[in-house]
C-alpha cells in the first residue's frame, strides 16, 4: 500500500466525488455512478491497480455505493408522491435479472470494452436530452408486457455494464412514453435499488479470487472507497431532490445532457489516448 501522504489527495478526490454523486442522485434520480465510475477508474489507476481489472473494480464499487444512496433518494421522492410504484413493481424481476447478466458479461470482457460501452451510451443519452422534443414520443403511455418487462431487462443489463443506477436510461424510457421528467427522475431513484443490490452480489462473484485486486476488495468491490463515500452521498442526496423539484423540465434536460457529455468525452479521451 502507498504511504498516507500519497493516498491523501486521492481520498480528498473521492470525498469530493461523493458530494457530487449524492447531489446528482437526488437531482437526476440516478445513483451517482456516472460520476463515480470515471473517478474510481482514475484513482485506482494512480494507486497501481492492474488495467485488466481497473474498470471492473470501478463499476462494481460504484454499484455498491448506489445501494444506500438510491434508497435515500427513493424515500425522499416517494414522500412527494412522484414515484410510479406500479412500474417498479412490474420490474422487480426483470431489472435485477438484467443486472446479473451484466455482471457475468463484465467478468469476461476487457476493461476497454466496458469503457467504450459506458462512453457510447452516455453520449447517446446526452444527445437525446439536448434535442428532446415532445414529437419524439414513442407513445402516450408505457407499453404493456412483455415489451415493458423486456425493457426492464435491457435497462438492467446496460446499467450493470455502466455501473450506474439506471436513472439515465429510465428517464429516457419514461419521457419517451408520455411521462414527465419529474416523475421519471423520482421513479429512477427506486430503480437504482433494483439494480444496485443484485449488481453488488454479481460483481463480487465476477471478481472473486482475482489476483490483480487491491487490498480490502471482495471481488470487484473495494470497501475503502465504499466506506468513505457512502456517508457523504447519503448526506447530500436530499439536497439534489430539493433542487430537482425547483427546476423546470428543460433545465433538468439540459443539465443532464451537459453532465453526460463531459463524462463521455473524458472516457473517449482515455480510450483513444
Measuring CA to CA, which residue among 228, 210, 207, 216 is closest to residue 103? 207
Q: Tell the residue number behind the cell numbers 408520455, with chain if given.
A: 178
pLDDT at 28: 67
Residue 158: is its pLDDT beyond 80? yes
Residue 17: is its pLDDT beyond 80? no
Measuring CA to CA, which residue among 64, 177, 159, 171 is closest to residue 121? 159
Domain of residue 71, residue span: 4-272
Diameter of the chain measured on Cα atoms: 57
Cα separation, 160 vs 147, in Å, equals: 20
pLDDT at 176: 84
Give the pTM.
Answer: 0.79
How many C-beta atoms surround the C-beta of residue 29 within 10 A? 37
Mean per-residue pLDDT, 110-130: 84
Considering its fold, how many domains does the chain have in total? 1
Residue 115: is its pLDDT beyond 90? no
Q: Give the ranges where 80-166 is alpha helix by DSSP (H).
A: 85-90, 94-106, 111-130, 147-162
Share of the chain above pLDDT 90, in %: 22
CB 44 within 8 A of CB 57: yes
pLDDT at 30: 62
CB 234 within 8 A of CB 18: no
- pLDDT averaged over the chain? 83
Q: Tell the residue number behind the cell numbers 431513484, with chain if given.
A: 189
Q: If DSSP codes are grouped into helix, strand and coil, which group holds residue 207?
A: coil
Measuring CA to CA, which residue among 9, 17, 12 is closest to residue 34? 17
pLDDT at 204: 95
Q: Give the pLDDT band (50/70/90) at residue 102.
A: very high
pLDDT at 29: 60
How many C-beta atoms surround the C-beta of residue 251 within 10 A? 13
Amino acid at each position: 500500500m502507498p504511504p498516507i501522504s500519497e493516498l491523501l489527495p486521492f481520498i480528498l478526490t473521492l470525498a469530493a466525488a461523493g458530494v457530487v454523486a449524492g447531489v446528482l442522485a437526488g437531482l437526476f434520480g440516478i445513483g451517482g455512478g456516472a460520476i463515480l465510475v470515471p473517478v474510481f477508474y482514475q484513482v485506482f489507476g494512480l494507486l497501481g491497480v492492474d488495467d485488466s481489472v481497473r474498470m471492473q473494480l470501478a463499476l462494481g464499487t460504484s454499484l455498491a455505493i448506489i445501494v444506500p444512496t438510491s434508497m435515500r433518494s427513493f424515500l425522499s421522492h416517494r414522500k412527494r408522491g412522484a414515484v410510479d410504484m406500479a412500474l417498479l413493481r412490474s420490474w422487480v424481476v426483470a431489472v435485477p435479472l438484467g443486472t446479473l447478466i451484466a455482471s457475468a458479461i463484465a467478468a469476461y470482457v476487457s476493461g476497454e470494452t466496458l469503457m467504450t460501452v459506458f462512453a457510447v451510451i452516455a453520449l447517446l443519452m446526452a444527445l437525446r436530452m439536448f434535442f428532446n422534443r415532445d414529437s419524439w414520443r414513442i407513445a402516450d403511455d408505457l407499453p404493456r408486457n412483455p415489451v415493458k418487462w423486456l425493457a426492464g431487462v435491457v435497462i438492467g443489463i446496460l446499467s450493470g455494464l455502466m455501473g450506474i443506477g439506471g436513472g439515465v436510461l429510465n428517464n429516457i424510457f419514461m419521457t419517451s412514453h408520455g411521462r414527465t421528467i419529474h416523475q421519471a427522475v423520482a421513479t429512477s431513484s427506486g430503480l437504482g435499488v433494483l439494480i444496485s443490490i443484485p449488481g453488488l452480489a454479481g460483481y463480487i462473484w465476477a471478481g472473486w479470487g482475482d489476483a490483480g485486486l487491491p487490498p480490502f476488495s471482495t471481488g470487484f468491490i473495494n470497501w475503502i472507497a465504499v466506506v468513505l463515500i457512502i456517508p457523504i452521498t447519503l448526506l447530500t442526496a436530499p439536497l439534489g431532490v430539493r433542487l430537482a423539484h425547483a427546476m423546470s423540465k428543460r433545465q433538468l434536460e439540459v443539465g443532464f445532457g451537459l453532465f453526460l457529455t463531459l463524462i463521455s468525452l473524458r472516457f473517449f479521451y482515455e480510450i483513444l489516448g
